[in-house]
């Protein structure tokens, strides 16, 4: 499928030493680039609320250098970093009751960008009250500051997904490395590619590196090594990515939903052996995490996550880093990285910007191809002047998502092939439940 270099010659390294080019449309994120414009149509997390203290914070996002601050009055501002007077960086500015003052000549800007005061100019000067520093709207949720960097007239509502609107959930930051922001030296797309690529879970996260996922009792989920049946379906919010595995008398339907274009919702993993409620042959596991992959620039991407769990649950499982979470982070020794690689190593190994033209996609990469098509179609929608997928301008309530994980007790079919189709049916039924819950 699609590979430019299908080498069939042994010892043929010389034939492929010249590499094809990167996909400019999907990987570049700066202003006025195709993917950059698409990503600018959505609210993106840009930093932790707790990092807004008494000093301004330089922020880089989608290749733009900005500065964030919280006024003494409590309002969050996100401004173009270089002062519109003569370009001094506002990271050296002073936060005021209602804005930020540049260190160089004290021009004073409001969080919406308005120049409130320019003390170097006469009182009736042309600028104050008229000139604006570039500014972006912000919104805080669950300890994260989100920003919208797109055209003002296209601003969507904040994506309050149904899982984020639950009254019975506690919400918190989900970075397993304490509250440090995790930045990977890779392009955003190869980090997103990870989601519709469920096949890597069995290989990378279990067979290769030892089981990297733990259940809620802290037991390594060795069942991850079972190769299941993969399926992908488009949902209104993105792409549902399922894998159904036969685990003895049970079928485990694992579900992740790519929330278009750059986040993923993950469900809490099951406990083995499953303990079914009386008279029931199924257990449902709701989502517990949404993670955004936010491009800082073409070759750096930040992970921001919100975790959620029931108020009466011990927080431990959700806040303690699992081996998979640790392997997502770069602060391990090189030997540790080599001995038990995780997503971080797999992705940085693809290079700063993975070159799609040298891939050889296979059967398990069908979801990846669906995601990339969705990206191209929606880049096109933006070019045409339409709203892309999963941009919501008005809503009567929370935005439905379509992820739930299931454990179902169902006897194995008589032969492996029939059992495989049973697994796929159960996988689809699990998705249907999400659609029914959303009233679709
Ligand atoms: S450069 Fe900012 S006030 Fe002069
Ligand atoms: Fe992974």
User: What pTM does this model have?
Assistant: 0.95
The protein residue with its alpha carbon nearest to ligand 1, atom 3, reads: 105
The helix/strand/coil state of 94 is: strand
Q: Which residues line ligand 1 (CB under 6 A)?
A: 83, 85-88, 102, 104-105, 107
**Residue 83 CA: which ligand 1 atom is closest?**
2
Range with the poorest average pLDDT among 118-132, 292-306, 366-380, 391-405: 118-132
Tens-place pLDDT, residues 211-246: 998 888 889 999 999 999 999 999 999 999 999 999
- What pLDDT was estimated at residue 173? 87
Measure 118 CA to ligand 1 centroid, in angstroms: 9
- What pLDDT was estimated at residue 324? 75
Measure 90 CA to ligand 1 centroid, in angstroms: 9
Question: Could you tell me the domains of the chain?
Answer: 43-151 (2.102.10.10), 162-437 (3.90.380)
The helix/strand/coil state of 238 is: strand
Measure 335 CA to ligand 2 centroid, in angstroms: 20
Tell whether omega for the bond before 261 is within 30 degrees of 0, i.e. cis.
Answer: yes
Q: What's the token pair of residue 332? A: 């391990």
Measure 82 CA to ligand 1 centroid, in angstroms: 9
Smallest-distance ligand from the CA of 206: 2
The protein residue with its alpha carbon nearest to ligand 1, atom 1, reads: 86
The helix/strand/coil state of 174 is: coil
Bin 431: left if φ > 0, else alpha if -120 < ψ < 50, else beta. Answer: alpha
Measure 243 CA to ligand 2 centroid, in angstroms: 14
Smallest-distance ligand from the CA of 203: 2
Average pLDDT for residues 321-342, to the nearest whole number? 82
Q: What's the token pair of residue 99? A: 């804005």
- Distance, in Å, from the CA atom of 304 to the CA atom of 324, rounded to the nearest integer, reads 16
Q: What's the token pair of residue 177? A: 């490395």
Contacts of 11 (CB under 8 A, 6+ apart): none
Tens-place pLDDT, residues 281-293: 999 999 999 999 9
Q: What are the backbone angles phi and psi of residue 78, rounded to the nearest 5°?
A: -140, 105
Residue 276 pLDDT exceeds 50:
yes
Give the residue carrying structure tokens 């649950």.
313
Measure 142 CA to ligand 2 centroid, in angstroms: 24
Q: What's the token pair of residue 391? A: 């941009």
Q: What are the backbone angles phi and psi of residue 291, rounded to the nearest 5°?
A: -120, 130
**Residue 93 CA: which ligand 1 atom is closest?**
2
Three-point CA angle 353, 354, 357, nearest 5° = 125
Smallest-distance ligand from the CA of 133: 1
Residue 44 vs residues 18, 289, 401: alpha-carbon distances, Å: 37, 16, 18
**Of the candidates 140, 175, 136, which has an alpha carbon nearest to the alpha carbon of residue 152?**
136
- Distance, in Å, from the CA atom of 160 to the CA atom of 158, rounded to the nearest integer, reads 6
Average pLDDT for residues 87-95, to the nearest whole number? 98
**Residue 107 CA: which ligand 1 atom is closest?**
3
**For residues 164 and 68, is the Cβ–Cβ distance under 8 A?**
no
Tens-place pLDDT, residues 387-433: 999 999 988 889 999 999 999 999 999 999 999 999 999 999 999 99
**Residue 102 CA: which ligand 1 atom is closest?**
2
Measure 240 CA to ligand 2 centroid, in angstroms: 16
Residue 41 vs residues 35, 161, 321: alpha-carbon distances, Å: 10, 17, 32
Q: What are the backbone angles phi and psi of residue 65, rounded to the nearest 5°?
A: -95, 120
Average pLDDT for residues 371-380, to the nearest whole number? 98
Smallest-distance ligand from the CA of 345: 2
**Which of 56, 86, 116 to mutate to test ligand 1, by most ligand atoms within 8 A of the CB atom?**
86
**Which of 84, 92, 102 to mutate to test ligand 1, by most ligand atoms within 8 A of the CB atom?**
102
């Amino acid at each position: 499928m699609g590979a430019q270099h299908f080498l069939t010659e042994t010892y043929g390294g010389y034939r492929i030493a010249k590499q094809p080019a990167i996909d400019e449309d999907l990987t570049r994120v700066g202003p006025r680039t195709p993917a950059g414009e698409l990503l600018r149509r959505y609210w993106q997390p840009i930093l932790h609320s707790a990092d807004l203290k008494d000093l301004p914070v330089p922020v880089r996002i989608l290749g733009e250098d900005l500065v964030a601050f919280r006024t003494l009055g409590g309002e969050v501002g996100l401004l173009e970093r270089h002062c519109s007077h003569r370009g001094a960086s506002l990271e050296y500015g002073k936060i005021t009751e209602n804005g930020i003052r540049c260190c160089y000549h004290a021009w004073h800007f409001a969080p919406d960008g308005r120049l409130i005061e320019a003390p170097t100019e006469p009182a009736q000067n042309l600028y104050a009250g008229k000139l604006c520093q570039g500014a972006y709207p912000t919104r805080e949720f669950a300890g994260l500051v989100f920003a919208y960097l797109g055209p003002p007239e296209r601003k969507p509502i904040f994506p309050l997904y149904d899982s984020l609107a639950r009254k019975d959930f506690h919400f918190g930051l989900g970075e397993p490395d304490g509250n440090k922001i995790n930045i990977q030296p890779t392009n955003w797309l190869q980090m997103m590619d990870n989601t519709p690529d469920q096949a890597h879970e069995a290989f990378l996260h279990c067979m290769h590196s030892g089981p990297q996922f733990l259940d809620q009792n802290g037991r390594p989920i060795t069942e991850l090594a079972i190769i299941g049946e993969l399926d992908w379906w488009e949902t209104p919010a993105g792409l549902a990515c399922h894998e159904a595995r036969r685990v003895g008398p049970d079928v485990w339907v694992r579900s992740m939903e790519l929330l278009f274009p750059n986040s993923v919702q993950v469900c809490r993993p099951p406990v083995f052996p499953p303990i079914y409620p009386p008279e029931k042959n199924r257990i449902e596991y709701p989502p517990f995490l949404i993670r955004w992959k936010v491009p800082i620039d073409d070759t750096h991407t930040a992970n921001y996550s919100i975790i959620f769990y029931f108020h009466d649950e011990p927080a431990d499982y959700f806040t303690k880093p699992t081996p998979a979470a640790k392997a997502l982070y770069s602060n391990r020794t090189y030997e540790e990285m080599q001995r038990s690689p995780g997503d971080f190593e797999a992705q940085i190994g693809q290079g700063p910007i993975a070159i799609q033209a040298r891939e050889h996609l296979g059967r398990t990469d069908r979801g990846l191809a669906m995601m990339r098509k969705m990206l191209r179609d929606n880049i096109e929608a933006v070019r045409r002047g339409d709203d892309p997928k999963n941009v919501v301008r008005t809503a009567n309530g929370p935005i439905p998502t379509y992820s739930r994980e299931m454990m179902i007790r169902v006897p194995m079919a008589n032969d492996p092939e029939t059992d495989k189709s049973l697994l796929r049916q159960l996988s689809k039924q699990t998705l249907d439940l999400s659609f029914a819950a959303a009233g679709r």
